[in-house]
Amino acid sequence: MLKEGFKENYGRLKFFINGEWIESKSNTLFDDTDPGTAELIAQVPVALENEVDMAIEAAFNAFKKWRDVPFRDRADYINRLRAAFDANHEILSKILTQDHGRAINDSKGTIDRCIENIESASGAMYSFYKGEYVEQLANGIDCYMMWEPVGVFLILTPGNIPMHAWSSFVPYALACGCTVIVAPSWQCPVASEAVFRVSEEVGFPPGVLNLIHVGTNFELNKRIISDPRVAGVGFIGSTFVGKQLFELCGNLGKRSSINGNGKNFIVVAPDANLDAAANYLLRGCFGMSGQRCLGSDNVVIIGNIYDEMKEKFLNAAKNMKVGYGFDKSVEMGPMTTKQNKEKVERFIEKGIKEGARVLLDGRGLKVPGYEKGYFLGPTIFEDVQPQMEIAREESFGPVSNLIKAESLDQAIEWINTTTDYGHSACLVTESGKNARKFIRECNVGNVGINAGIPQPYSFFPLGSKRQSFFGAAKSRFDSVRLFLDQKTVTVRWV
């Protein structure tokens, strides 16, 4: 079990480099707070350049040996990693709620998703890794294709899904024979450290896994990617930062998987089960306080069901229990940081200035006993037009825009043309014909039918398009194409 355990305050966090926890020499620190209480839970040093270089050196030296670890032995490490996550399921869930703010039941679901990714990485080894072989391709000639690990990768995880994002890249990299340097978001450093402490229990060779903190210092990430010993980057975060990383990788000839913002839609068709739709909307718009990659801002309601659907959704949202995540009856916790809360409040103000009407205002919410927490309640706009900025840019908070549409064709057109993003879209319907049309015509990477969150299982990629993704391979199972490269061998013995 996790030795460090759950604490009220974790003190000054350390780096994990070359198999050891080290104290940074940096005097530049940032604070990490519990978003439900606003109380300090850790102080985090920003790595010095020589500490960054130490992590690169450790990962590079470890790669030379890790790539040659026998296949079955490496698979055993991955299977033990799965067991470690399972054994520490409860403590990881608690730390995630403490550091991120999400409801404890959401945190438990997240650890389940992490375990699924580790299982998927193990499965990838036994399926994808085998290569291809053709005997007697020509007279006396055999030809085969083999997969080889690429090298050291920088993994950049976001504040909204610090553990899930880690599991969407790292287990696959390790299974493929690569080594990693993880530089997590400044928003959830305690949760990121907890993942490493669990991984430490597995006994990976020194340097295979490395953790540093860079805060908001993008130059340190550039330093890592620019080092010739580093092969590429796996990133989940904003499109703005992702584009800079993608350009840098392109200029340097490095591999990348860049997963950015979305502006997601849930469309409710006239034939939909409206009670079920209301539940999908609650989960899709307000789950994890709206800080979910596959969560939705835009709710498009088609035809004459608008008023009825609006009332059902509004009443359901009013009855959501918002509070501190450790209360098992809570459905929605706080925003992860004070900055995120203030950003969403500015988004709401923008919507009001654009002419949208507030049906439900989540600002100013105070949870008894947690008055200092970063809480926002569900917010619902109506009279939203597709050309408004709030309908085109992601709020990344518990905000929903109600938009009237005349037809499914019009809804699909808005999904494909009013925003540059192509992350996800859902349709609530009883019509197979309409569902098939929606699946085929929506220019997004993740489609849901009768769902609020089109979350694919880990052995499928997270399929984003347009300005939501750049790079060579998607995350999760597809990331093996990031971490492995092909080599063909032609042999003549006759």
Strands 152-156 and 179-182: parallel
Q: Which pLDDT value is given to residue 5?
A: 74
Q: Which pLDDT value is given to residue 127?
A: 80
pLDDT of 130 > 80? The answer is no
> In degrees, to the nearest 5, what angle opens at C-alpha 162 toward C-alphas 156 and 168?
70
Mean pLDDT of 349-363: 96
Encode 201-219: b = buried (16+ Cβ within 10 Å), e = exposed.
Answer: bbebeebbbbbbbbbebee
* Helix locations, 256-305, DSSP H: 274-286
Mean pLDDT of 422-440: 95
pLDDT of 3 > 80? The answer is no
149, 177 Cβ separation under 8 angstroms: yes
126, 71 Cβ separation under 8 angstroms: no
- Out of 176, 188, 249, 293, which one is annotated catalytic? 293
* SS3 call for 433: helix
Q: Is 261 exposed, middle or buried (0-12, 13-18, 19+ CB in 10 A)?
A: buried
pLDDT of 62 > 70? The answer is yes
Q: Which pLDDT value is given to residue 133?
A: 85
DSSP string, 451-469: -SS----TTS----EETTE
Q: Which pLDDT value is given to residue 1?
A: 54
Strands 298-302 and 399-405: parallel
Confidence of residue 475 (pLDDT cuts 50, 70, 90): confident
Strands 255-259 and 29-33: unpaired
Ranked by mean pLDDT, which of 89-98, 256-265, 472-481 comes out on top?
Answer: 89-98
pLDDT of 240 > 80? The answer is yes
pLDDT of 125 > 70? The answer is yes
Q: Which pLDDT value is given to residue 20?
A: 97
Q: Which pLDDT value is given to residue 461?
A: 84
What type of residue is 117? Answer: N
Q: Which pLDDT value is given to residue 2?
A: 63
pLDDT of 353 > 70? The answer is yes
Mean pLDDT of 419-426: 92
Mean pLDDT of 166-186: 96
Q: Is 132 exposed, middle or buried (0-12, 13-18, 19+ CB in 10 A)?
A: exposed
Q: Which pLDDT value is given to residue 293?
A: 85
Rounded Cα–Cα distance for residues 18 and 351 (Å): 49
Strands 255-259 and 399-405: unpaired
Report how far apart, in Å, the C-alpha atoms of 93 and of each of 5, 104, 185, 308 are: 11, 7, 18, 38
Mean pLDDT of 223-238: 95
Rounded Cα–Cα distance for residues 212 and 203 (Å): 19
Q: Closest Cα partner for 317 from 293, 283, 347?
A: 283
Each residue's pLDDT tens digit, 272-309 = 999 999 999 999 999 989 898 888 999 999 999 999 99
Q: Which pLDDT value is given to residue 85?
A: 97
143 flagged as catalytic: no
Rounded Cα–Cα distance for residues 389 and 344 (Å): 13
Q: Which pLDDT value is given to residue 70?
A: 93
Q: Which pLDDT value is given to residue 417?
A: 94
Each residue's pLDDT tens digit, 383-413 = 999 999 999 999 999 999 999 999 999 999 9
pLDDT of 129 > 80? The answer is no
Each residue's pLDDT tens digit, 454-464 = 988 888 888 88
Confidence of residue 474 (pLDDT cuts 50, 70, 90): confident
Mean pLDDT of the chain: 94
Residue 133 tokens, joined: 């072989």
| Full-model pTM | 0.94
